[in-house]
Amino acid sequence: MKLTKALIPIFVLLFVSITAQAQSLSLKGKVFDSKTKAPLYYTVVNLKGTHVYDLTKEDGSFSLNEIKKGKYTMFISVLGYQAQEKEIDVQTSQSDIKIYLNPSSLDLKEVTVTAKVSSSKAGSTTYKIGSQAIQQVQPISVSDILQLIPGNQVGATNLAQVSQVNLRSAGGNNDINSFGTAVIIDGNQLSNDGNMQAFNTAIGDAGGNNVANQGVDLRDIPASNIESVEVVSGVASAKFGNITSGAVIIKRKAGYTPWRVSFNSNPTSYQGGINKGFKLNKGGFLNADFDYTYANNSATSRRNFYQRINTGLRWTKEFSKKLSWSNNLAFSYSLSFDGQRKDPDEKVVISDTEYKNQSYRLSNNGSLNIFGRTNYSLSINYTDQYSRKDILSAGPIPIIESLEEGTYFTNYTPISFHQNTELYGAPLNINGRFDTEQIFTTGKLKHNTNIGIEYSFNKNYGKGKVLDKDGQTASISGPGSRETDFYNVPASLIYSAYFQDDINYSRAKSNYLLKLGARYDYMIEKYHLLSPRLSLSAKYFDKFRIRAAYGLSYKAPSMLQLNPAPAYFDILNLNHYANDEARRLAVVTTYIHQPENGYLKPSKGETFEGGIDFEHKEWNFRLTLFQKKITNGITSNSILKTFEKEIWEVLEEYPDKQPLVGPTGNSIYVSSKMNTYVNASKSKTTGIELSAQFPKIKATNTRFNLSGSYLKTNSHRDVPSVKSSGSLTGSQTNRYGVYETPAYNAYICRSNLTVIQHIPEIKLMVTLTGEANWKNKNEVSKYPSIYPIAYYEKTGEYVEIPENMRSSDEFSDLFNSDNRYKNTPIPTYFNFHLQIRKETKQGHSFSFYANNFMWYNPSYIDENNKTRVYQNSKVTFGFGMNFKL
């Protein structure tokens, strides 16, 4: 009922906006190839910032209807051609518009190979990375493409480590920041909420290269079939939910393309791909692609490796010319594998891990001219996850198999044994969206509204955690885990509705755009959340623009955070280990603690930003100041659990069998720490972003781009820490102190100057990037007091200490050490990167890059560790080839 009441205003606004439409004008014309003059089929023709849209027919014709009087920017794009923007003043209907598009090639006079600021409906600060820029960086995965975002660091591809989006953060809360960043492919948002691959949450083991409770792993997304990437680092449109830190929007190739075969290689990895866009006889296009990637952890070591297989089909078709109804049906499969190669000469394998994910994704989305412009999408994502950890453990320790509380007799493991744990996960995500866009006017105001509803379902159908016969053991010194299933964990549901109205007002020498948005989310069947999103920009004399934006957003807890596995505490009552295996006996009491995490709230993101732009001819400057806060971030917290340990004794021993044992009647209290999830992480990032583009030197066709950012992130875990008096004094533990936790500051200041040398006559593009790392520093911004704020008795009783008593000698055994550790700031250093790409007349291209090509490798002495630290990575070379068949 509450959800129904929340949706009623949305549909009222929808009805009002539809009925408010007045008499409209139309634009008709044709699109041609600039060289062959042939008509271009399936070209997108759109008035930017509106839903007015059409796809060209076989003869290249298009028709845009329901247009109000005013000035617009017409955006024309088709796969394989350079997109074009055309300013147009619509006062009357037009029917003879002719547009000529240039084939995308390095022989064009203007080619963009950097991230461009985009006036997108997706958010306030948005960067667009086009196909030419993507080709220039020779990417293997999406993480390589994101290096083009202003302020990001350029570096060699490292597929042996998890790679995630980390927008507008200097550090301190990277997992929480990436978990709140959306990754959207062809309109369908990927979800990691159902990932439960954690070996033992009680001790904080998140599972190596698995990304439970973290963002999407970008390594698994190939770059060979990507047409463009849009990055929303500011306030996102109300359309985007379940986020706190922006979005990465990926658009894959759809439409006709010839056969393309690509190959990229560097010292640690190589990638090969093939893709083709077929034009079907009955209309529409079928795009097929295949990508294989293999990587080692370093150029000199092959022990850890990563490999990836991706393949997919996308069918794009216009079902109705009258309604401009276009639809895209896509299926994709991916396999990613992190493993360790065994050395034949290695006699004893101390540890062995592997992580395998097989993903199946089916999606369908489209749009048509009904109720304005109606958009719909449905995606189904299923992943078969497997994780294994095999560790050589030291024995002998008691074999513990109990799944219920009680006292048990058991035997011992060998002196050394392999403990093998396997996780079988099967998360399923279903996401559906339906929205409509309308254009209407109220007086001198032009409105472009977007009203929609969304549904998200996450459920894990996996078998869960499985231990082998030798692995049925748990530590007797801390919390352990047992076999557990995932399929009984309840699903996580989100119901959403959103409204966005872009209001435009124009005068003779100024233009104003107000974006008003609001989003309602009903998360995990408990929380009703409203997120306002708004931004305002004012442009004067077509040169100066002033911007301001504010927005709230929320990210639901993951299924693993909401439903952690039970923690098993195994207390050793009697340890009777004898040389004769038949006489060995251990008595163990098992206690079980099931965390109840229903109190967890969604994380909250709050962003303010403002800026000023200057655009005149080829001069382009953009300055943005922002502040991003994340509160209620979910993090692990160490808590103390206390149990009564009953003392047992040997009553009678026998020469060839286990002894007769029994309780002594005495007991003591033992304590153990375990981790639980709490809404305790806070961070505040303030920053400045700058980008500047200077006029091209026409004599040499050389252009300079400058970009940079300054970030300061203050992070704090608002939960106390626990330490035993024994660990502080070196004597017997009598009680446990409770202490405040420190707060941290992280700073990053970085800028890039890129020199772009383009020689269109020979189809050559050279980019030289000078990277200045001005500041990279971590520090404790607030040291906690050495005095305890409370303590636990050995019985587990919690006792608060009055503030005026905390420094009393009564608690001297709990005084914490004053470790004022201070990181040595990294001195300023520079790095230089070279990228060269050459195209042939046949459409083939060859590329080469060298990171740190000047072999510049400065170092400094870390005064705390007394070690020499080298700042730059070693010089790294790579090359790529792309053949058009």
- The DSSP secondary-structure symbol of 875 reads P
Residue type, 432: G
Contacts of 804 (CB under 8 A, 6+ apart): none
Q: Using the predicted structure, report yes or no on whether residue 391 has a pLDDT greater than 60.
A: yes
Mean pLDDT, residues 336-364: 82
Distance (Å, rounded) from C-alpha 282 to C-alpha 449?
A: 35
Across-strand partners of 81? 103
CB neighbour class for 347 (10 Å; exposed up to 12, middle 13-18, buried from 19):
exposed
The per-residue pLDDT for 706 is: 94
The per-residue pLDDT for 382 is: 97
Q: Specify the 3-state DSSP secondary structure of 695.
A: coil
Q: Specify the 3-state DSSP secondary structure of 175.
A: helix
Per-residue model confidence as pLDDT tens digits over 442-496: 988 989 999 999 999 999 999 998 877 554 455 565 677 788 899 999 999 999 9
Write out the two tokens for 51.
Answer: 């839903």
Percent of the chain past pLDDT 90, that is, above it, reads 55
- The DSSP secondary-structure symbol of 14 reads H
- Indicate the pLDDT class of residue 82, thresholds 50, 70 and 90: confident
Residue 762: count of CB within 10 angstroms of its CB: 10
Question: Is the distance from CB of 256 to CB of 279 less than 8 angstroms?
Answer: yes
Write out the two tokens for 482.
Answer: 């047992």
Across-strand partners of 451? 436, 499
Q: Using the predicted structure, report yes or no on whether residue 257 has a pLDDT greater than 60.
A: yes
Q: From 782, 786, 810, select the one nearest 721 (Cα to Cα).
A: 786
Residue 516: count of CB within 10 angstroms of its CB: 17
Q: Specify the 3-state DSSP secondary structure of 865.
A: coil
Residue type, 244: T
- Distances in Å between the Cα of 267 and the Cα atoms of 81, 118, 126, 297, 566 are 33, 35, 33, 10, 44
Distance (Å, rounded) from C-alpha 7 to C-alpha 498?
A: 9
Per-residue model confidence as pLDDT tens digits over 775-828: 998 889 889 999 999 999 988 899 999 999 999 999 999 998 887 766 777 889
What phi, psi does 17 have (nearest 5°)?
-65, -35
pLDDT, mean over the chain: 88
The per-residue pLDDT for 156 is: 78
Question: How many helices and strands, by DSSP H and E, does the chain display?
Answer: 6, 46
Contacts of 414 (CB under 8 A, 6+ apart): 395, 396
Question: Is the distance from CB of 671 to CB of 792 less than 8 angstroms?
Answer: yes
The DSSP-derived string for 339-378 is EEPPPTT-SS--EEEEEEEEEEEEEEEEEESSSSEEEEEE
Which range among 18-32, 613-627, 759-773, 775-789 shows the weakest confidence by mean pLDDT?
18-32
Across-strand partners of 35? none
The per-residue pLDDT for 351 is: 74
Q: Specify the 3-state DSSP secondary structure of 329.
A: strand
Q: Using the predicted structure, report yes or no on whether residue 32 has a pLDDT greater than 90.
A: yes
Distance (Å, rounded) from C-alpha 229 to C-alpha 255?
A: 17
Secondary structure percentages of the chain, helix, strand, coil, to 5: 10, 55, 35
Write out the two tokens for 212.
Answer: 């439970």
The per-residue pLDDT for 15 is: 46
Write out the two tokens for 234.
Answer: 């500011």
The DSSP-derived string for 431-463 is EEEEEEEEEEEETTEEEEEEEEEEEEEEEE---
Per-residue model confidence as pLDDT tens digits over 595-650: 888 899 999 999 999 999 999 888 999 999 999 999 999 988 888 889 989 999 99
Mean pLDDT, residues 377-386: 96
Write out the two tokens for 116.
Answer: 């461009």
Mean pLDDT, residues 384-389: 92
Which range among 69-73, 191-195, 370-374 shows the weakest confidence by mean pLDDT?
69-73
Per-residue model confidence as pLDDT tens digits over 168-206: 999 888 889 999 999 999 999 999 999 999 887 665 555
Per-residue model confidence as pLDDT tens digits over 35-50: 889 999 888 898 887 7
Residue 334: count of CB within 10 angstroms of its CB: 19
Q: From 242, 246, 239, select the one nearest 451 (Cα to Cα).
A: 239
The per-residue pLDDT for 695 is: 92
Contacts of 258 (CB under 8 A, 6+ apart): 276, 843, 884, 885
**Residue in this structure with the two tokens 């830190």, named with its chain if needed:** 245
Question: Is the distance from CB of 367 to CB of 380 less than 8 angstroms?
Answer: no
Question: Is the distance from CB of 745 to CB of 712 less than 8 angstroms?
Answer: yes
Mean pLDDT, residues 142-169: 87
Distance (Å, rounded) from C-alpha 216 to C-alpha 230?
A: 16
Q: Using the predicted structure, report yes or no on whether residue 13 has a pLDDT greater than 80.
A: no
Q: Using the predicted structure, report yes or no on whether residue 220 has a pLDDT greater than 90.
A: yes
Distance (Å, rounded) from C-alpha 883 to C-alpha 842?
A: 9
- Distances in Å between the Cα of 721 and the Cα atoms of 380, 715, 789 are 42, 16, 10
Residue 619: count of CB within 10 angstroms of its CB: 12
Question: Is the distance from CB of 63 to CB of 28 less than 8 angstroms?
Answer: yes
- Indicate the pLDDT class of residue 856, thresholds 50, 70 and 90: confident
The per-residue pLDDT for 501 is: 95
E-strand stretches of 396-526:
406-410, 416-425, 427-442, 445-460, 464-467, 492-506, 510-523
Residue type, 666: N
Across-strand partners of 441? 446
Q: Is the dihedral of CA 342, 207, 363, 127 positive or negative?
A: negative
Write out the two tokens for 10.
Answer: 């949305």
Domains of the chain: 4-101 (2.60.40.10), 115-884 (2.40.170.20)
Q: Using the predicted structure, report yes or no on whether residue 19 has a pLDDT greater than 80.
A: no
Burial 518-538 (b: 16+ CB within 10 A, else e): bbbbbbbeeeebebebbbbbe
Q: Using the predicted structure, report yes or no on whether residue 20 has a pLDDT greater than 50.
A: no
Contacts of 359 (CB under 8 A, 6+ apart): 220, 332, 333, 334, 335, 381, 382, 383, 384
Per-residue model confidence as pLDDT tens digits over 512-543: 999 999 999 999 899 999 999 999 999 998 89
Distance (Å, rounded) from C-alpha 616 to C-alpha 596?
A: 59
